[in-house]
Amino acid sequence: MSSNYSYYLYAVSDATGEMAMNIAFAALRQFKIDNVKIVRKAKVVDSNKIKQVVAEAKKNHGIVIHTFVSKELRSDFHHEAEKEGLVALDIMGPVLNVLTTYFHATPSDEPGLKYRVTKDYYKRQEAVDFTVKHDDAMGLDTLDQSDIVILGISRTSKTPLCIYMAYRGYKVANVPIIKDVPVPKELKQVDKSKMVCLTISPQKLVQLRESRLMKLGRPLSEEYANINRVNEELEYCRSYLDEIGDIPMIDVTDKAIEEIASEILLVLGK
């Protein structure tokens, strides 16, 4: 299903929000729907933040998947969502209730225990910080410190893919391949075994770019979304890869972010 309408899923938590994100991504794989935005809201730990999240989700006609560990915050969020007529799915509450009965014990209600003072936690935080600073050809002076470098032309999902992989502990940078613009010289200093390039069908790319233009209030007649221009950009990208050689190419057409990430890790042997 393709639509110019944007759907919003909010992954909300009093901890990192990773579990809610994973559930949202897993569920979306069962639907062929474009224009779905997953918005992570982590560390929602007081009534003001709850009201802000609910207000934003309501404004965007979104729904919420939440994993509050705190019973009090869970109750507050449910009350606020119900008051505003917002659909909110509680993932953690039913599980904790069943385990409370099963163990004859009370949960700690303390969010984030999974990540407390662990090497994985610090690795993840470092990876996210690195990835944000190396988005869209930024931070070129430390590009060689990346675990993974993702190449591709505009609207091939480079940025969301990088953020997704960063939350799994990988330092990821992305460098756009732009026709008629020289590729950054720093890219030549990067080990090619770290590099992968994204491609996509021309027709799908035109759809994505038209959707982008509509959201920006710009005419669909712009060259950015012209099929001939798109084909030229894809051909330029292929030519560049042929020139440097040995860079795997991943087709992202109609694939979910986590599926693309799995392919990248597989081809790079990570």
Separation CA 220–CA 227 (nearest Å): 11
The reported pTM is 0.58
Q: Do 17 and 123 fall within a single domain? A: no
| pLDDT at residue 102 greater than cutoff 80 | yes
Distances (CA, A) of 205 to 102, 147, 177, 209, 215: 51, 27, 15, 6, 15
Q: Do 142 and 89 fall within a single domain? A: no
| pLDDT at residue 194 greater than cutoff 90 | yes
Q: Which of 58, 80, 114 is the last residue of a domain?
A: 114
Q: Do 86 and 171 fall within a single domain? A: no
Can you give the pLDDT at residue 5?
A: 58
Percent of all residues in the chain with a pLDDT value above 90, rounded to a whole number: 57
Average pLDDT taken over every residue of the chain: 89
Q: Is the pLDDT higher at 181 or at 6?
A: 181
| pLDDT at residue 131 greater than cutoff 50 | yes
| pLDDT tier at 97, thresholds 50, 70, 90 | confident
Burial class (CB within 10 angstroms; exposed 0-12, middle 13-18, buried 19+) of 50: buried
Q: Which of 60, 86, 114 is the last residue of a domain?
A: 114
